Amino acid sequence: MLRRTHTCGELRDAHVGQTVRLNGWVNAYRGHGTGLVFIDLRDRFGVTQVVFDGEALPKDTLDTADHLRNEDVVAVEGRVRVRAGGENPKLATGKIEVEVTTLEVLNKTANPPFLPDDTGGGGKLANEELRLKHRYIDLRRPSMQHAITTRHKVYQATRRYFDENGFLEIETPILYKSTPEGAREFLVPSRNIPGNWYALPQSPQLFKQILMVAGCDRYMQICRCFRDEDPRADRQAEFTQIDLEMSFVRREHVIEMMEGFVRRLWKEMTGYAVPPIPVMPYREAMERFGIDRPDTRYGLEIADISEIAARSDAGFFKEALAKGADRPKFNSQRGVVKALRVPGGAEKLTRKMTDGYNEFVRSFGAGGCAVVKVNAAGELETGIAKLLAPVKDDLKAALGLTPGDTVLFVADTYAVCTKAMGELRQVVARDTGVVPKPGSEGGPWNFLIVVDFPMFEKNKDTGKWVAMHHPFTAPRDDQAEAFVAASVDDENTIESIVSAGYDIVLNGQEIAGGSVRIHDPRVQSKVFTLLGLTPEQAKEKFSFLLEALQYGAPPHAGIAFGLDRLVMNFLGTSNIRDVIAFPKTQIGQDLMTGAPGPVTDEQLKDVHARAIRP
RNA sequence: GGGGCGGUAGCUCAAUUGGUUAGAGUACCGGACUGUCGAUCCGGUGGUUGCGGGUUCGAGUCCCGUCCGCCUCGCCA
C-alpha cells in the first residue's frame, strides 16, 4: 500500500515540487476521458485535487482513474504543483494539485445509498433514518467529522481542567444494582445468581459518594448513564455525563470550581470569556420566569397580579384566588393570577395565536388564557377588558403597559399557573421573535446558576412527597435544624425547606445539576421518613451507602454536566443525535446494528429468564 | 400511553376534484470529451407508491389497521 506522507488537508504552495502520497476517499470525479481526469480526494482533514494526465501516464492507469467513483478508497503518489487551471478558493488546498504518477485502488465501493456530502451531493441531506442505518457513511460528512472532533476536544479540555484541580478519574460499574426510584432502568439478568438482575446506572450517584467516604477527595468521570424513558430532541436513553464529586466543601466551593470549568471550557472551545455567573434562587426564577431554568436572553417577565385581580369583575380570577387561600404565599396549592405583558403584542399576536395560547395553557391544567390589548389611547380593549375596568389603572401601573401591548392572563393554583405561564412565555418569545440566535451562531451565552430548590415536592398522582433532586441531597446549611425539627405532617413547612442543590443553566437549558450531600444521619433518616421509607426499606435499597456513611464520611458535594448538551451548544445543533457517533431512535433502536434484537431460548435459559412474546 | 408531521426509482422530490403507460433532477451503467472544480454533452437501466385490509368501474390519492422515522405532552429522583 502506498502509505500517505501527508493528509488531504495539508498541502499548500510551500509543498510545490515535492513528491507526496495521499490516501483517502474519492469525493468527486471530473473526467475528460481519453486524456485528463480530476479526482477530489477526501479524508477527515480535508480535500485535495489530484490530476491524471493522459500524456504522462500509462493507458491502464488513466483507464482505472477514469472509472473511479465517489467513495472509492485510493492511494496516489505524485508531485505537488501549482494548479494549471487556476486556484479553487473553496478549498484550503485550492492553490495546488497533485499530478499523479502512481494510482492504487485500495477498495472499490458498492454504489453508496447516499453521499457523505453536507449538501447531500448537491441537494438536501438524505433522510435521517437512512443516514442512521448507514452511519459509517454519514459520519464521513465534514460536519459530522467536525462534531466528533468537537466532542473529543470537550473530553480533553475536561480531563485537563479537572486533573489540574486535583480530581482523580475513576471508573464505576456499569452492571449495578436496581434502585427503583426515579427513571425506569435497563435490566440485565444474572447467570450465576438465578432470578437476580443488574440494572444499568441512571448515574453513578451512590458510587461517587462512596468514593468520597473512601478518601479519594475529588472524583471525576466522563460516564455513560442510562434512563429507559422516552427521548426528546435533546435527550437519549443512553447519554454521557461529566460526573464530579468533592470532599470537604460546601455549596459555594463546588459552584466556584464549576464556574471555573465553564469559563475554561468556553475559552478553549469558543474563545468566549464567560463573565461571573449570576446566581438566582429557585423562587425568584419561578416568580419571574415560571421555570427553574429560565432563558434570560430576553425579558418577557411574568407578573403576579393576584391582589389587583381580586378587585376586578372577573369571576374566574376570584374563583382561582379562592383556592388554598388559607395557605402561605408561594404554596403550590394557593390560587394566584399571573400576567404576561407582551410588548407590541397587539400587532405581533394574531387572534389565531392567542386562541392557540388558550389551548396551550389548558394542556398544563390551567382553565385558559385571557387576553387584553392596549390601544393607541392607552386603554384596555378586547377580551376581558370590561371585567378589568375597575382595576385598569392599577394594572397599567403594575405592568408598565404602553400602547400596542398585549397582556396574557392565567389564573389557577400557584403550581399550575406558574408552569403554564413559564411555558407560555417561551412560546410567546418565539412567536414574537425576541429569542436571540444561539451563542454558537453569534448570539449571547447567558449562564445562570439556580439555587435554593425545594427539598421535596408532592407527586400529583400519589400525593406522596418525592425528593426534587435525589434522597441524598442536603438541606441548605441554615435549614437543617428546622428540617429535622419539622413535623412530618406539617406540609407548609416541609414544602418551604430548601436544599443545598444547584443547577447551571445556559440560555434556558439545564447543562448541569448537583447538590451538597447529606452526611448527618439525623437528616438522612428524616428524608427517608418523609419519602415513606421505613428504616428497613431504606437499608434494603441503599444499605451500602448508609453503612459507608457511618464510617467516617467527609462532608461532600458534587455535580454532573450533560456532556451531549455541552457539545450541542458548541455546534449550534438542537439534535442530540448530531453529537453521538452511534445514536438511537425514538424507540431506542440502533438502525445500523439492529439492536435491540431477539435472543435464543438457550441464551434466556442460561440467565434464567423467559420471554413474554406479544 | 396521548397529539402532530412524514414514508412514491439507490437518493431528493413531483404527480389537479380518485382517472391513460407514476414523472423530473441526481446517482448508477454505456458512449463522447485535455483544465475541471456541483465538469459538460448524448443514450440507457431503474418502481409491489412502507406493509395489510377495505370502499370504488378505477386508489400513490379516500377509509381502517399496522410498522418505521421525526417533533411533542406524559415521563426523565
What is the DSSP track for A421-448? HHHHHHHHHHHTT-PPPPGGGTS---EE
What mean pLDDT is predicted for residues A155-162?
A: 98
Q: State what percent of residues in chain A have pLDDT above 90.
A: 75
Strands of the sheet containing A370-374, edge to edge, are A302-304, A335-342, A406-413, A370-374, A380-381
Interatomic CA–C1' length for residue A29 and nucleotide B36, angstroms: 9
Interatomic CA–C1' length for residue A127 and nucleotide B18, angstroms: 29
Number of other CB atoms surrounding residue A223 within 10 Å = 22
Distance between CA atoms of residues A74 and A23, nearest Å = 6
pLDDT grade for A483, boundaries at 50, 70 and 90: very high
Strands (E), A73-186: 73-82, 96-107, 168-169
Considering only CA atoms, which of A573, A270, A260 is closest in space to residue A445?
Answer: A270
Contact A98, A22 (CB under 8 A): yes
The residue whose CA lies nearest the C1' of nucleotide B10 is A113
| CA distances for A462 relative to A217, A418, A465, A526, angstroms | 39, 21, 9, 20
Residue A122 has pLDDT above 60, yes or no: no
Considering only CA atoms, which of A240, A270, A264, A248 is closest in space to residue A163?
Answer: A264
Distance between CA atoms of residues A581 and A590, nearest Å = 11
What mean pLDDT is predicted for residues A294-321?
A: 93
Scanning every strand, the nucleotide with its C1' closest to A83's CA turns out to be B35
H/E run at residue A166: none
Distance between CA atoms of residues A367 and A198, nearest Å = 45
Q: Give the per-residue pLDDT at A556.
A: 96
pLDDT grade for A532, boundaries at 50, 70 and 90: confident
Q: Which residue has the higher pLDDT, A234 or A360?
A: A234
Contact A445, A459 (CB under 8 A): no
Residue A506 has pLDDT above 70, yes or no: yes
Q: Give the per-residue pLDDT at A120.
A: 57
What mean pLDDT is predicted for residues A320-340?
A: 88
Scanning every strand, the nucleotide with its C1' closest to A26's CA turns out to be B37
Distance between CA atoms of residues A474 and A216, nearest Å = 21
The residue whose CA lies nearest the C1' of nucleotide B75 is A229
Scanning every strand, the nucleotide with its C1' closest to A459's CA turns out to be B77
What are A434-437's contacts with CB under 8 Å, separation 24+? A434/A298, A434/A299, A434/A300, A435/A295, A435/A297, A435/A298, A436/A297, A436/A298
What mean pLDDT is predicted for residues A93-104?
A: 95
Interatomic CA–C1' length for residue A240 and nucleotide B41, angstroms: 53
Interatomic CA–C1' length for residue A111 and nucleotide B10, angstroms: 8
Q: Report the b/e string of A451-489 with b at 16+ CB within 10 A.
A: bbbbbbebeeeeeebbbbbbbbbbbbeebbeebeebeee
| Helices marked H in A8-113 | 59-66
What mean pLDDT is predicted for residues A216-233?
A: 96
Q: Give the per-residue pLDDT at A268.
A: 97
H/E run at residue A352: helix A351-362
Interatomic CA–C1' length for residue A441 and nucleotide B36, angstroms: 34
Interatomic CA–C1' length for residue A236 and nucleotide B47, angstroms: 36
Interatomic CA–C1' length for residue A121 and nucleotide B23, angstroms: 21
Distance between CA atoms of residues A570 and A572, nearest Å = 6
Considering only CA atoms, which of A342, A341, A302, A335 is closest in space to residue A321?
Answer: A335
Report the DSSP pairing between strands A218-226 and A238-247. Answer: antiparallel
Q: Give the per-residue pLDDT at A614.
A: 65
Q: Give the per-residue pLDDT at A333.
A: 84
Scanning every strand, the nucleotide with its C1' closest to A206's CA turns out to be B77
Q: Which nucleotides of B are covered by protein (CB under 7 A)?
A: 1, 10-13, 25-30, 32-40, 68-77
Distance between CA atoms of residues A427 and A411, nearest Å = 18
Give A201: exposed, middle or buried? Use CB within 10 Å, 0-12, 13-18, 19+. Answer: buried
Residue A377 phi/psi, 5-degree rounding, is -85, 0
Distance between CA atoms of residues A475 and A453, nearest Å = 9
Scanning every strand, the nucleotide with its C1' closest to A231's CA turns out to be B76
pLDDT, mean over chain A: 92
Residue A365 has pLDDT above 90, yes or no: no
Q: Give the per-residue pLDDT at A542.
A: 82
The residue whose CA lies nearest the C1' of nucleotide B32 is A33
Interatomic CA–C1' length for residue A228 and nucleotide B73, angstroms: 17
Distance between CA atoms of residues A15 and A6, nearest Å = 10
Contact A532, A465 (CB under 8 A): yes
pLDDT grade for A121, boundaries at 50, 70 and 90: low
What mean pLDDT is predicted for residues A130-155?
A: 96
- What would the pLDDT profile of A40-59 be if each residue is shown by its tens digit? 999 999 999 999 998 889 98
Q: Which amino acid is at A294?
A: P
Longest dimension (CA), chain A: 96
